[in-house]
Amino acid sequence: MFDIYKEMWTRRRMIHELSIQEIKSEYAGTLLGFIWGLVNPLMRISVFWFVFSVGARAGVPIDGAPYIVWLAVGMVAWFLINDGFRLSQKTYRSKRSIIKNTPFPVAVLPAMEILFSYYKHLILLGVILLVLIFSLKSISFYWIQIIYYDFAAFMLLIGLGTLTAPIVAISKDFGRFLDTSLVFLFWMTPIFWSAENLGVLEKIIKLNPFHYIVQGYRDSILFNRGFWEYPLYTIYFWMVVIILFVLGNYVYKKMKPIFLDTL
């Protein structure tokens, strides 16, 4: 039933090696190397903090956490989701030269792009955690939960990438629609504002599985809350992941001959 995921697991070592090669090629020829992977996200965090906290004077502490810290932790989680989804859904189209010219196991490509995004994410996460250790002068056992939320994000992205990549491969319009949707989700996911301020609309916002990851990061790093404190929300999230896995496997099997011919 889950043939594509079995192939990903069987070829997990290949996925890792390909992801490392992607990182090397990404920064090949640059003087600062992987440091460039920090420059863009840190600048974006700084700009958004300035706009909302200084410019709009809306950056009040949230649940006792300084706004800049609350914002940074949420954006670190978002960068992983955004980059992983953006790259994985375009993977068949962006790698069409490899697919057409070599007998390549195309099933591994979405996972490769997601793992590539995750390795870059680890660099930024490490820097943010170090800054927090020195600025807050504390560390919590709950930080270990980041491993769980990273795994949850990885599984969510695998499901999304597997489902959308075959469709994007045969339709540029669908790819543009997804790019637009990511912009919409960026502003609708509670990254700059707290969902608790929405009253009855909070439950609707929480239907977005991206919120589960972003809030999970904040709960783990800032608020010392365990994922087991939200059993129904956790069950809902994993039900969404399972549905995406089933749909992704089905779409891949049905559309593989079509998008291979189209590419």
CB atoms within 10 A of CB 67: 16
At 55 the pLDDT is 47
Question: What is the distance between the terminal CA atoms of the chain, rounded to a whole angstrom?
Answer: 26
Buried b or exposed e, range 224-255, using 16+ CB within 10 angstroms? eeebeebeeebeebeebbeebbeebbebbeeb
Confidence of residue 114 (pLDDT cuts 50, 70, 90): very high
At 6 the pLDDT is 85
Report pLDDT digits (tens) over 90-99: 888 887 777 7
Report pLDDT digits (tens) over 12-50: 888 888 888 887 777 666 656 666 667 777 777 777 666
* Residues near 169 by beta carbon (within 8 Å), at least 6 away in sequence: 92, 93, 96, 255, 259, 262, 263
The pTM for the full model equals 0.86
For the segment 152-179, the average pLDDT, to the nearest whole number, is 90
At 42 the pLDDT is 75
The number of residues in the chain equals 263
